[in-house]
Amino acid sequence: MKFDTFSEYLSRMEGTAGRLELAAQLSELLRGLTPSETPAALYMVQGQLLPPFAGEPMGMAARLLLRAMERALGDQGEKGRSRDLDALLAEVGDPGLLAERLKMGREHGHLDLSGIYEALLEISRMSGSGSQDEKISRLAKLFQGVSPLSSRYLARFVMGRLRLGIGDSTIVDALARTLLLSPAEDEKAWKTEMKRIRQRVEGAYNLCSDLGRVGEVLRREGIEGLRSIRPSVGYPIRMALCERLGSGAEIIEKLGRAAVESKYDGFRCQIHCDGSHVRIFSRNLEETTGMFPELVSEARAILGRRTAIFEGEALGYDGENDSYHPFQVTITRKRKHNILEKSEEIPLKCLVFDLLYLDGETIMERPFSERRRLLEGVFPVHRPKFSEREVPPDHVFGASRLIETDDPHTIDLFFDEVVEEGFEGIIAKRLDGVYTAGSRNFNWIKLKRSYKGALSDTVDLVLIGYYRGKGLRTRLGIGAVLGAVFDPESGRYLSIARIGSGLTEEKWKDLREMLDDLRVPEPPPTVRSGLVPDFWVYPKIVVTVLADELTRSPVHQAGRSEGEEEGYALRFPRMVSGPRADKGPEEATTVSEIRRLFELQRQRSLRE
């Protein structure tokens, strides 16, 4: 496919608001591609060069982009050359529209999508002496080889500002639609079959976290070809998620006899070992291997030449008191510089809680009780009694603390004990439950200290806009933010709170700078809000918020069904953390979780 044709599809999708409509248009694009072109197209529509875990960002600095545009699109031959592109960019406000304007009326080539993609991949990997000028030169050639419309999207992509609002769920829908065209007569049968195909596509994605790989296999081999995608070392498995309940009695009613673990507050790590090679992935599948050298060296020592994928929670270790640091201290280990110095200052202990792959074989589909037995054969186990404090393992790795019980009272006692020790709460697990990659269900249930029987739980909100500062905050340029929850069914972000407290002045300034880079002139297609902020932003940043309670709201959109006049809102919300690097927007609190929290709150009020 020519890149100019690809850009025409991007233009159509840019003007499309609904997720289903976006999926239909993306599906049409995919059907026009060869299997080998599919990965590049899927990565690029999301504004990336490779899947997130591969760590290959584009994001060229504005000054380099402008120099490439000047070299390719400057006013050659005119007197008084050249125009001030910085001033033009300030006037237009969008590097893509500026590139399109400069390209108007000029001759251009017809480069292929694959050629553009490979060139951008090479540009992103250039480094060392003379690399900047080479990047500018190669990017200039790309501008010369595409149409004005293509110049718009090329410039936006290079700047990291494509932002079509196409998330993972939209791509999964689009891939499923490539196998099943719109219904001709029996719409009900079509929806049933579409659901089945979508589940197969999403299941394959959950096992490898690479939509490009899934798309190519699907286009080349069809739905049965997806069976070849299995868990493998180096491809992060999308992490299983928990549901919420409010008491030990509810947990036992739901699970029967269950395994119950401490819920730690640190870095969730998925660790892949293949002989001497170790890679670590975060909750949102970002590679963090270089940040945690002690985990890498200890994993090599324990596993040797064995292959394994396992999950654990890494916490900062206080050697003087033989205890764990709070999360605010642990989070300082997440850095790109001075890593060794910080690892000596705040070493890590990793409590391993699940084993997914061992010795070349996936064990995700085995019962949790069996996975736990295998886990305890690899990692040292310490089982303190109820009256004993949980002591960190002697070495870097150790199995998580766990009990088995069918007694609600025992769960409540265990909960009280781990909370008193400073942990977040507990997680109960179905003993015969499989590991459900990328899914939230009642195989895992969390009970946290902040909402045992009440609301006051923290929620993770996606920021969709912000307001100018007033009064003392005028100089900060920001006074409040507009937060939203995620609705997986529609792929939309639905407003739930305007938040104006919880951060220091310095952190408000930092947040505003991050939001400025995400500003868009109109609400993004995936955003629904009854409030209109001073500035809309692309939904990317996730923050943790605490509130006094949930209320029904005639303004906010979260939880508002068709025909309903009220959604949900947070009363007296305040941020308890700045942007969360470990969570992407689709990992934010969902609408269904909000409904569940509202029900927990209602039950508490009835008991009182």
Per-10-residue mean pLDDT for the chain, 608 residues long?
Answer: 95 84 93 96 94 77 84 57 68 85 83 94 86 90 92 92 86 92 73 90 96 96 95 95 88 95 92 93 90 94 95 92 86 84 91 96 97 94 64 88 93 86 89 94 84 61 90 81 91 91 88 90 88 93 89 89 81 85 85 86 65
Of 513, 511, 452, the C-alpha closest to 483 is 511
Which residue among 263, 429, 446, 583 is the active-site one?
263
Measured CA to CA, the distance from residue 573 to residue 482 in angstroms comes to 11
Q: Cα angle at 87 between 83 and 88, to 5 degrees? A: 70
Q: What is the DSSP string of 10-61?
A: HHHHHT---HHHHHHHHHHHHHTS-GGGHHHHHHHHTT-SS-GGG-------
> Is residue 308 within 8 Å of residue 244, measured between CB atoms?
no
CB atoms within 10 A of CB 16: 18
Torsion angle, alpha carbons of 600, 602, 604, 608, to 10:
180
pLDDT of residue 472: 67
> Is residue 156 within 8 Å of residue 96, measured between CB atoms?
yes
Measured CA to CA, the distance from residue 290 to residue 200 in angstroms comes to 34
284 φ, ψ (degrees, to nearest 5): -100, 20
3-state secondary structure of 519: strand
Tell me 36's DSSP state: G
CB atoms within 10 A of CB 143: 23
* CA within 13 Å, CB half, 117: 22
pLDDT of residue 280: 96
The structure's pTM equals 0.82
Of 290, 284, 288, 330, the C-alpha closest to 541 is 284
Active site residue 263: yes
Q: Burial level of 125, CB count in 10 A (0-12/13-18/19+)?
A: exposed
Of 417, 449, 425, 446, the C-alpha closest to 546 is 449
Of 3, 7, 15, 6, the C-alpha closest to 525 is 15
Tell me 410's DSSP state: H
The residue length of the chain stands at 608
pLDDT of residue 454: 44
Q: What is the DSSP string of 299-362?
A: HHHHHTT-EEEEEEEEEEEETTTTEEPPHHHHGGG--SSSHHHHHHHS-EEEEEEEEEEETTEE
**Locate tokens 């299941």: which residue?**
203
Of 338, 333, 320, the C-alpha closest to 267 is 333
For residue 15, CA distances in Å to 28, 93, 100, 523 come to 16, 18, 17, 12
- Domains for the chain: give ranges and CATH numbers: 241-448 (3.30.470.30), 459-607 (2.40.50.140)
pLDDT of residue 78: 43
Partners of 271 in the β-ladder: 280, 310
Secondary structure, 3-state, 224-281: HHHHHCCCCCCCCCCCCEEEECCCHHHHHHHHCCEEEEEECCCEEEEEEEECCEEEEE
Measured CA to CA, the distance from residue 132 to residue 329 in angstroms comes to 38
